[in-house]
Amino acid sequence: MALQYFEWQTVADKIVAEVTQNRESAIALLPNGAKRAAGILSTLEVSVSDALNDAGFRLHDNRLEISAGGLNLIYEVGKQNDFGGLAEEEFCKVALQLYLFHEIHHVAQGLIEFEDVQALKRTAGPDKLGELDVIADTVAAQLFAWNFAATQEDFRRQYAAGFLAALHFMVEYCFPAFGFPLEKRHKVQRALGIVLMAIITERAIDRRDYESDFDIALYASFSQNFSELAVLSYGGNPSPAMHSVVRTMKPQSVKAVLRLLDSGQVGEILAMTRALV
Ligand SMILES: [Zn+2]
């Protein structure tokens, strides 16, 4: 059985209290993109609702409602996998943070009304939505990592570990929960961006290079036949820059990775992507 909305509400109250407390003591440690989201969070009343239909969240005056249905999709994937060895309560705290922080950043982006999302698809195109989502995912992982590390002595090392754990959690539970089929190109491109960020963070941790900007957003774009890949990076507020271009990809192996992205098999996805780039 999934959790009731009022059970999620208890988790949400704990998280908001934690962020508020850490904001008072450790705001300087928060990455810039995430500072704004944390500031917005502190002005809102967060409530979990089971009446949002398909919307992920709804903002009305100072009240942000997030969807119990969305949270429970992640919960179900976790439950099928024994919560990845975490206690159920811990798992729910991670799921709620990543979900809430993602939606909070959409508020910071001004991407709030369902109609505006549809208008953006018609005008700038779905790719732009994929970019805005990967940036919101990144801010969610940054806020999670900061909230986890804020009270610890070796902040930057713990922050890197927390950031990587958040990305793994997304690949393992959130991707299968929401499903990223190959035909939805902007969704697999967003998902691959997260996987590439995990690989970059892994490498930084291996080198004990905790001061580098491993925690910036990456968005991947493929050519029509999947033989070329361009990766854009976004430092802070949207400022796209070329991160890398790969020109020698075998379309079949690219498609094999992209098809696996929402399978939850985090080890295999990372291994196949490492071989790709
Ligand atoms: Zn989103």
Hey, where are the domains in the chain? 5-276
Classify residue 146 by burial, with Cβ atoms within 10 Å: 0-12, 13-18, 19+: buried
The predicted pLDDT at position 88 comes to 97
The two three-digit tokens of residue 241, written as one number: 């820059």
The predicted pLDDT at position 45 comes to 97
Mean per-residue pLDDT, 109-117? 92
Structure-model confidence comparison of residues 241 and 93, the more confident one:
93
Picking from 36-40, 48-52, 182-186, 233-237, which range would have the lowest pLDDT averaged per residue? Answer: 233-237
The predicted pLDDT at position 94 comes to 98
Q: Residue 207 Cα, ligand 1 centroid: separation in angstroms?
A: 32
Residues listed for the chain: 277
The predicted pLDDT at position 216 comes to 93
Picking from 53-57, 65-69, 176-180, which range would have the lowest pLDDT averaged per residue? Answer: 53-57
Q: In sequence order, what are the beta bridge partners of 221?
A: 230
Q: Where are the alpha helices (DSSP H) in 27-65?
A: 32-43
Q: Residue 121 Cα, ligand 1 centroid: separation in angstroms?
A: 13
Give residues with Cβ within 8 angstroms of 269, minimum separation 6: 171, 195, 257, 260, 261, 263
Q: Is the pLDDT of residue 6 over 90?
A: yes
Q: Is the pLDDT of residue 238 over 70?
A: no
Mean per-residue pLDDT, 47-71? 93
The predicted pLDDT at position 236 comes to 55
Q: Residue 154 Cα, ligand 1 centroid: separation in angstroms?
A: 31
Please count the CA atoms within 13 angstroms of the CA of 72 that sit on its side-chain side. 16
**Helices 155-169 and 126-149, packing angle to 10 deg:** 140
Contact 22, 151 (CB under 8 A): yes
Number of CB atoms found within 10 A of residue 120's CB: 15
Q: Beta strand 57-60 with 45-49: parallel, antiparallel or unpaired?
A: unpaired
Q: Name the nearest CA neighbour of 198 among 151, 155, 166.
A: 166
Q: Residue 77 Cα, ligand 1 centroid: separation in angstroms?
A: 19
Of all residues in the chain, what percent carry a pLDDT higher than 70?
99
The two three-digit tokens of residue 132, written as one number: 């805005």
The two three-digit tokens of residue 5, written as one number: 């909305």
Please work out, in degrees rounded to the nearest 5, the angle formed at the alpha carbon of residue 154 by the alpha carbons of 35 and 42.
25
Q: Residue 220 Cα, ligand 1 centroid: separation in angstroms?
A: 16
Q: Residue 258 Cα, ligand 1 centroid: separation in angstroms?
A: 19
Q: Residue 223 Cα, ligand 1 centroid: separation in angstroms?
A: 24
pLDDT tens, position by position, 168-213: 999 999 999 999 999 999 999 999 999 999 999 999 999 999 999 9
**What b/e string do you get for 163-180 counting C-beta neighbours within 10 Å, with b at 16 or more?**
bbbbbbbbbbbbbbbbeb
Amino acid, res. 163: F
Band of residue 235 on the pLDDT scale cut at 50, 70, 90: confident
Please report where in the chains the tokens 């990223």 appear, as a residue: 180
Classify residue 252 by burial, with Cβ atoms within 10 Å: 0-12, 13-18, 19+: exposed
How many Å apart are CA 19 and CA 24, to the nearest integer? 9
Provide the 8-state DSSP code for 174.
I
Q: Is the pLDDT of residue 81 over 90?
A: yes
Q: Is the pLDDT of residue 237 over 70?
A: no
Of all residues in the chain, what percent carry a pLDDT higher than 90?
87
Q: Residue 171 Cα, ligand 1 centroid: separation in angstroms?
A: 15
Mean per-residue pLDDT, 230-242? 77
Q: Residue 235 Cα, ligand 1 centroid: separation in angstroms?
A: 19
The predicted pLDDT at position 242 comes to 81
Q: Is the pLDDT of residue 240 over 90?
A: no
Q: Is the pLDDT of residue 263 over 80?
A: yes
Q: Residue 206 Cα, ligand 1 centroid: separation in angstroms?
A: 30
Q: Residue 103 Cα, ligand 1 centroid: separation in angstroms?
A: 6
Q: What is the pTM of this model?
A: 0.94
Mean of pLDDT over the chain: 94
Q: Residue 50 Cα, ligand 1 centroid: separation in angstroms?
A: 18
SS3 215: coil
The predicted pLDDT at position 124 comes to 93
